[in-house]
Amino acid sequence: MAITFNAEKKLFSLETRNTTYQLRIDQFGIVQHIYYGGKIYGDSDYIVRYACRGFGATISDAGTWRDYELDTISREYPTIGLGDFRAMGLILQNADGSRCVDPRYVSHSISNGKYALEGLPAIFASEKNAQTLSVITEDPVSHVQVELLYGVLPDIDIITRSVRIKNGGTEQVTLEKVASACLDLSYGAYDLLSFCGTNCRERQLQRTPIGHGRQSIGSRRGSSSHQYNPAVIVAEKGATESAGGCYGMMFVYSGNFLLEAEKTQFEQTRVIMGIQPECFQYPLAPGQVFTVPETVMTYSEHGFAMLSQRYHYAIMHHLCRGKYVNADRPVLLNSWEAAYFDFTGETIYQLAVEAAELGVELVVMDDGWFGQRNDDNSGLGDWNVNEEKLGCTLGQLIEKINALGVKFGIWFEPEMISENSDLYRAHPDWALKIPSRNPVRSRNQLLLDFSRKEVRDHIFEMMCKVLDQGNVEYVKWDMNRSMEDVWSTERCAGAVAHEYILGVYDLMERLITRYPNILLESCSGGGGRFDAGMLYYSPQIWCSDNTDALDRIKIQHGTSFFYPVPSMGSHVSVCPNHQTWRNIKFNTRGIVAMSGTFGYELNPATLPPEIKAKIKDQIIQYKECSKLIREGRYYRLTNPHESELAAWEFVSPNQKEVLLNMVIQEVHGSRDLFYVKLRGLQQQGIYKDVVTGMTYNGAALMKVGYPVPEMKGNVPAFQVRFKLSEE
């Protein structure tokens, strides 16, 4: 049993293979957090200590017992109005204008399987692989019910948390802040690892101490954003890739979010993950239920690599869906950097001819094939094939491409509308706009009001009409602006941003249900919506619009802390690179792009024959390792922000195959001699370099290290494949 209940103590234990999570119902019916961390084999409620501190506050049921202060007690779901002044999980306004919600225990249930969340992406598991704990609490005055949900996946050390808030009263209340997880740590010093950036520089690792004063990251851009990722690590001071305790919190949501971390007046730590409360006001009518997106948690006693590997496994096996998740993804060639808007059907066909010759399996026709879309100022919303531009029908183009043995994929930006489009001329009120104001434009486009079903229905119909014209095997779903003018004809402005995301999920679900064989890749100006919510619908996401291999090392390094390598779209592009104008060796570009869903973003016809020959070899090389890259355990061997050497490694689950990648980010004359220590090998094993035949003992590679070869030139890289010698 993953979940047990000690009725006498009213203590719940959530057990996974390597971790324990405990909570209890106290004498007042308040749900206290007791412990989360490495596995223990008994109760730990002795940790709770009550003490009256100056200026503390007690709930009235505690009477004259002044030691009972919720401001210092670890809680599962802190709510407003009870004398806890730390960051809150739930703030709501009652009908009388007051802000208080006092959830007291009513009942609980333990069931097999993992709860699902209606309309929201969430971790899934079979009946035998998970258990669910539901704890129902209720405010005795407003009758607002708060259901705390815990999903426990014991074999993979994952615990998920979500919350359902039901208005069980007779008057409307307004939700102002909703979170799905609170992590209260009674003592200790912790750092926060977060992933920050911007367009073309996503998910740069940042490590800061959690100190006094609330620290937060989040998004109010309508999407999870390029700027901050909705996944963080709370790590013991000094924790490293291979040692030290660390907690992961990953929000399964693609919209506005807020992560708050603070050290309290008594050196406790509180961390809260939830929906961004700024501009959020969600009216909840009597009987209505609001479901908070889930937070996926794990605890690793042995550093970040273990934490990452658990998330990678959970995402690949319990979040991503579809036939491509655990299969080889086609090597693709995308038309964007090859031609931008300047193409005809013949251009795309010629890309496919080259692709067939080189061993590329899929050609993607990116932006520019529809409506009057010859630059990024017009046409969004007009999802009609521009046959004049293509010089043929879509069906004819796809047939010709398929006849070469190449698959065909296509780009959409379903959530957008250009003011210069037939769709806008017909339905100006479908765009998100405030009627009395001029809208804020971005890339000269507006957002469609995806909180409205009729809008989604129309877009879905248009997409289907395109997809039904031929054998489309891949769709890139893009989203290229942040949200402003958050106002809708249909609902309260404070609910729109969330309902919009539910609308996106609804349309994606409809799309993958109707086209189960299509590989969906999501994108938002590169990696502006790279989150677990999106991965429920699309097993891969275009990692960044920046294809410069050197910049990509840091972007993919940061992304890898939570998201598995097969989820990261990663392509080789030409040099000088279109984003940085930098020249980087072809080999390096390949090695970096292979640590993702591999592809190309260039026009092979413009390349000299020797580079084309290299592409052919590169694809063969990739194919030889693609299973190892997809299924292997991923280890970051250096921190590329701190070391000139960037190194990372894939080790097959049976430890028989290893792929070591090394890049010298800065080349200097007479530079240091680098060594890199491998990880995850069999101590006694003999590993053979498949090219040189040289053999190494596994423990030696991990303890003595591997001597990085001397490399020169523009960002040189080196890849070594080892196989466990069976002799």
Chain positions contacting ligand GLA, by CB under 6 A:
336, 366-367, 376, 411, 478, 480, 523, 525-526, 542, 545
Q: Which residue is nearest to ligand GLA (CB)?
A: 367
Q: Report the distance separating Cα 390 and Cα 349, nearest Å.
A: 10
How many CB atoms are closer than 10 A to CB 434? 14
Shortest Å, Cβ 475 to ligand GLA: 12
Does the N-terminal peptide bond of residue 576 adopt cis geometry, omega within 30 degrees of 0?
A: yes
Is 689 a residue of the active site? no
Q: Report the distance separating Cα 287 and Cα 169, nearest Å.
A: 7
Shortest Å, Cβ 179 to ligand GLA: 31
∠199-297-628 over CA atoms, to 5°? 70
- Specify the residue, 368 or 566, whose C-beta has the smaller distance to ligand GLA: 368
Q: Report the distance separating Cα 130 and Cα 557, nearest Å.
A: 30
The answer to whether 187 and 267 are in contact (CB under 8 A) is yes
The answer to whether 565 and 186 are in contact (CB under 8 A) is no
The answer to whether 182 and 76 are in contact (CB under 8 A) is yes
- Specify the residue, 76 or 367, whose C-beta has the smaller distance to ligand GLA: 367
- Specify the residue, 300 or 522, whose C-beta has the smaller distance to ligand GLA: 522
Q: How far is CA 74 from CA 44, 187, 245, in A?
A: 13, 11, 19
Please compute, for residue 399, the number of CA atoms within 13 A of its CA located in the half-sphere on the CB side: 7
Beta bridge pairs of residue 696 = 687
Of 222, 358, 194, 350, which is closest to residue 278 (Cα–Cα)? Answer: 222
- Specify the residue, 300 or 480, whose C-beta has the smaller distance to ligand GLA: 480
* Beta-strand relationship, 540-542 and 519-522: parallel
CB burial readout 214-223, b (16+ within 10 A) else e: ebebbbbbbb
Tell me the one-letter amino acid at 573.
S
Tokens of 2: 């993953």
Q: How far is CA 657 from CA 241, 629, 700, in A?
A: 21, 10, 16
* Beta-strand relationship, 190-198 and 131-138: unpaired
- Specify the residue, 411 or 500, whose C-beta has the smaller distance to ligand GLA: 411
- Specify the residue, 250 or 332, whose C-beta has the smaller distance to ligand GLA: 332
Phi, psi angle pair for 277, to nearest 5°: -75, -20
- Specify the residue, 330 or 526, whose C-beta has the smaller distance to ligand GLA: 526
Q: Report the distance separating Cα 646 and Cα 663, nearest Å.
A: 5
Which residues does 725 contact at the CB level (< 8 Å), separation at least 6? 685, 686, 687, 688, 695
Q: Report the distance separating Cα 537 and Cα 26, nearest Å.
A: 40
- Specify the residue, 336 or 408, whose C-beta has the smaller distance to ligand GLA: 336
The answer to whether 530 and 521 are in contact (CB under 8 A) is no
Q: Report the distance separating Cα 448 and Cα 450, nearest Å.
A: 6
- Specify the residue, 358 or 523, whose C-beta has the smaller distance to ligand GLA: 523
Q: How far is CA 11 from CA 33, 61, 67, 89, 186, in A?
A: 10, 21, 21, 21, 18
Q: Report the distance separating Cα 588 and Cα 648, nearest Å.
A: 13
Which one from 84, 382, 485, 545 is the annotated catalytic residue?
545
Of 310, 308, 353, 311, which is closest to residue 637 (Cα–Cα)? Answer: 308
- Specify the residue, 525 or 604, whose C-beta has the smaller distance to ligand GLA: 525
Q: In which element (H, E) is residue 26 found? A: none
- Specify the residue, 210 or 511, whose C-beta has the smaller distance to ligand GLA: 511
Which one from 139, 191, 478, 531 is the annotated catalytic residue?
478
Of 31, 146, 149, which is closest to residue 100 (Cα–Cα)? Answer: 146
Is 191 a residue of the active site? no
Which residues does 135 contact at the CB level (< 8 Å), separation at least 6? 12, 23, 25, 31, 76, 105, 107, 108, 147, 148, 150
* Coil/strand/helix, residue 108: strand
Q: Which sequence positions are flagged as catalytic?
A: 478, 545
